[in-house]
Amino acid sequence: MGLIRIGKTSLNKRILNLAIPNILSNLTIPMLGAVDTALVGRLDNVYHLGAISIGGMIFNFIYWGFAFLRMGTTGMTAQEFGKKDEHETILVLVRALLVALICSFILILVQVPVTRISFYLIDASPEVESHAAIYFHIRMWAAPASLALYAFQGWFLGVQNARYPLILAVVTNLINIGCNVLFIKGFGMESDGVAWGTVVAQYSGLVVAIGLYGRAYSGYTCQIIRRKILEIEHLKRFFAVNRDIFIRTLCVVFTFTFFTAESATFSDDVLAVNTILLQFWMILSFGVDGFAFAAESLVGMYIGAQDTPKLRQAVRYSFVWGLGLGVIFSISYAMFGQSLLHLFTDKDYLIWMAWSYFIWTVIAPLVNSFCFIWDGVYLGATATPPMRNSMLVSTFLIFLPVYYLTRPWLDNHSLWLAMLLFMAARGLILTVYAPRFIYQPLNKNTR
């Protein structure tokens, strides 16, 4: 498990070895969303599509906020792995799992008031609200497994193992897809079938994660020193890093939640169309994030090893691969957009509406891939304050003002314009911060 000395050519190979499994595992997530959308989009009533969108939006507003259990765990684990400190490497996982367990039970306890507040704030039709509430309450029972999986996935990436997250993603999402098809097509369920499919899949994934850890990393277990689990200095760092990531993630979730909620104010049809188009953005993000995850693993390891030249190369090469993939996505969307829309719904009027907003989907990969790679670099460096600050600025000084200023003239286009500028601002601000927060601290330490 020691560090491997690699040259320029082999660094590209190492990036691909980490990125390709991450891309494949990430693509199973929007694939699941696409299957869900296609299944529910073919039900008789369009409000079922709105229900999984609104119900998933409420769930994700809370659930994605705890994505720090994946993001923070990767960076901290990679740095300890780079230092060859096996005690702290495994203790990062233990602390993350403890936090996951505590947070999941709190979420289950507060789910009823959360839904009441959410539907007070969201302007959706009674049919959408009713089915969205059922969907949300069912999915919430998967919280313990879902948050624990975040911790395991982040830890595996931190120890430079991208294969195990791929196995987890494939197994979990294939089970999810299979259950959804069975529950909807076989048992005649509706949006509630999608929720139950998620519950079964998440607990199945957790069992697999524990098995994978036991197979390859059981030797780490003897390195656990119980009195060090709650050591103040390490806990302070753990919570400081994850606090910033939590705030950053809440801004992302708020932005997408606001986007969905405002879509509902136009009409159920606009909500359905925007839900479909967001699937294209998700497919892009999960694809480019493969290289962002590779950047997390490598940047964290090289910072832990105090290797400045390899750090700079890893950042530079990650951008080349990530931006190149973004260009491929843009070209593919431009060439095959209408055909792809038919995969999500068989309703011609929804396809016609979606096509009128599709230009934003074509432009997005060229902008979004830039900020996604920077996210991976900053997470690997655990340089979380600038991530937090850039997200606050992009959300509250860019996204919201642009939307409210342009809505009277652009209608639904204003949401897409605001979203695109939100992404662009994130990438620009992180670029400005990079010399100070990514390279300068390491240069000081190596003098």
2 lies in some domain: no
pTM summary value? 0.80
Q: How many domains does the chain divide into?
A: 1
CA distance 14 to 22: 13
Output the pLDDT for position 8. Answer: 46
Output the pLDDT for position 1. Answer: 39
Q: CA separation (Å) from 370 to 88, 256, 299, 358, 431? A: 32, 19, 17, 20, 9
Q: Are 114 and 62 in contact (CB under 8 A)?
A: yes
Q: Give residue 242's domain range.
A: 8-445
Query: What residue type is 345 in one-letter code?
Result: T
CA distance 266 to 323: 34
152 lies in some domain: yes
Q: Tokens for 178?
A: 């299979």
CA distance 375 to 56: 24
143 lies in some domain: yes
Per the listing, tokens 């595996």 go with 156
Output the pLDDT for position 5. Answer: 40
Per the listing, tokens 């910072």 go with 303
The residues, ordered by sequence, that sit 6+ positions from 103 with a Cβ below 8 Å of its Cβ are 66, 143, 147
Q: Are 178 and 137 in contact (CB under 8 A)?
A: no
Q: CA separation (Å) from 387 to 119, 308, 310, 382, 423? A: 30, 21, 22, 10, 13
3 lies in some domain: no
Output the pLDDT for position 371. Answer: 93
183 lies in some domain: yes
97 lies in some domain: yes
CA distance 403 to 421: 10
159-174 burial string, b = 16+ CB within 10 Å, else e?
bbbbbbbbbbbbbbbe
Mean pLDDT by 10 residues, the chain (447 residues): 45 88 74 64 61 70 78 92 88 92 91 80 70 82 92 94 92 88 80 83 95 89 74 83 89 88 85 87 84 92 89 92 93 89 80 89 92 94 93 97 94 94 96 87 53
Output the pLDDT for position 340. Answer: 86
